[in-house]
Amino acid sequence: MNLLNINMEPINPTTVTQLVLPDGTLMPQAAMGTFHSDNPDLVEMMEEIVVESIRLGYRHIDCATAYQNEEVVGRAIAKAIKLGYVKREELFVLSKLWNKHMNPEDVIPACEDSLRMLGLETLDMYVVHWPWPNFHVPGSAGDAKNDHAVPYIHESFMKVWEKMTELKKSGKVRNIGTSNQTRKTMELLLRDTNDFNRPVYNQMELHPLFQQQELVNFFIDNQIVPSGYMSLGSPRRPGRDRFAEHQEDMLHPIILQIAKESGMTPPEVCLAWAHQREKSKVGYVAMAERSEWIKSNLMTATKNGLSQKHFEAINGDGTSENPGINTNNRLIWGQVFFWPEARLFGHDRDALWNDTQIFETKEDYYKFSFAAAAFYKIWKATAVDLPL
Ligand SMILES: NC(=O)c1ccc[n+]([C@@H]2O[C@H](COP(=O)([O-])OP(=O)(O)OC[C@H]3O[C@@H](n4cnc5c(N)ncnc54)[C@H](OP(=O)(O)O)[C@@H]3O)[C@@H](O)[C@H]2O)c1
What pLDDT is attached to residue 200?
98
* 4 domain-assigned: no
Instruction: Note whether 26 and 19 are within 8 A (CB).
Output: yes
Is the CB–ligand 1 distance for residue 233 below 6 Å? yes
* Structural domains counted in the chain: 1
pLDDT of residue 1: 67
Report the atom number in ligand 1 closest to the C-alpha of 36: 45
Q: What is the pLDDT of residue 387?
A: 63
Distance CA(99)–CA(14), nearest Å, equals 35
Among 44, 62, 37, CA closest to 297 = 62
DSSP assignment letter at 306: S
In a domain, residue 340? The reply is yes
Residue 103 located in a structural domain: yes
pLDDT at site 388: 59
pLDDT of residue 228: 98
Beta strands at 18-20 and 26-28: parallel, antiparallel or unpaired: antiparallel
Strand duo 283-286 + 30-33: pairing: parallel
Instruction: Indicate whether 249 belongs to any domain.
Output: yes
**Residue 164 sits in a domain of what CATH number?**
3.20.20.100
State in Å: Cα 203 to ligand 1 middle.
Answer: 14
CA-only gyration radius of the chain, Å: 21
What residues form DSSP beta bridges with 18?
28
From first to last of the 388 residues of the chain, give the pLDDT tens digit: 679 999 999 999 999 999 999 999 999 999 999 998 777 777 879 999 999 999 999 999 999 999 999 999 999 999 999 999 999 999 999 999 999 999 999 999 999 999 999 999 999 999 999 999 998 776 777 777 788 999 999 999 999 999 999 999 999 999 999 999 999 999 999 999 999 999 999 999 999 999 999 999 999 999 999 999 999 999 999 999 999 999 999 999 999 999 999 999 999 999 999 999 999 999 999 999 999 999 999 999 999 999 999 999 999 998 999 999 999 999 999 999 999 999 888 788 999 999 999 999 999 999 999 999 999 899 889 988 776 5
Residue 360's contacts (CB-CB under 8 Å, 6 or more residues apart) are: 153, 154, 155, 188
Q: Check residue 9 and report its DSSP letter.
A: P
Q: Residue 223: how many CB atoms within 10 A of its CB?
A: 13
Tell me which residue of 226, 252, 254 sits closest to 316, measured CA to CA.
Answer: 254
User: Nearest to residue 91, comparing CAs of 67, 68, 128, 57?
Assistant: 57
* Residue 18 main-chain phi, psi, to 5 deg: -110, 140
Residue 326, domain extent: 13-382
Q: Backbone phi, then psi, for 96, in 5-degree steps?
A: -130, 140
Catalytic residue among 67, 126, 201, 365: 67
Q: What is the DSSP letter of 229?
A: E
Closest CA to ligand 1's atom 23 = 234
226 touches ligand 1 (CB under 6 Å): no
The reply to whether 1 falls in a domain is: no
Q: Catalytic site residue 229?
A: no
Establish if 82 belongs to a structural domain. Answer: yes
Could you give the CA distance from residue 203 to residue 97 in angstroms, rounded to a whole number? 13
Q: Does residue 58 fall inside a structural domain?
A: yes
pLDDT at 161: 98
229 lines ligand 1 (CB under 6 A): yes
How far is 31 from 231, CA to CA, in rounded Å?
Answer: 11
The answer to whether residue 279 is domain-embedded is: yes
Residue 356, Cβ neighbours under 10 Å: how many?
14
State how beta strands 152-153 and 358-359 pair.
parallel
Nearest CA to 127 out of 186, 179, 87, 194 is that of 179
Q: Is 242 in the pocket of ligand 1 (CB under 6 A)?
A: no
Write down the pLDDT at residue 44: 77
- Report the predicted TM-score, pTM, of the whole model to 2 decimal places: 0.97
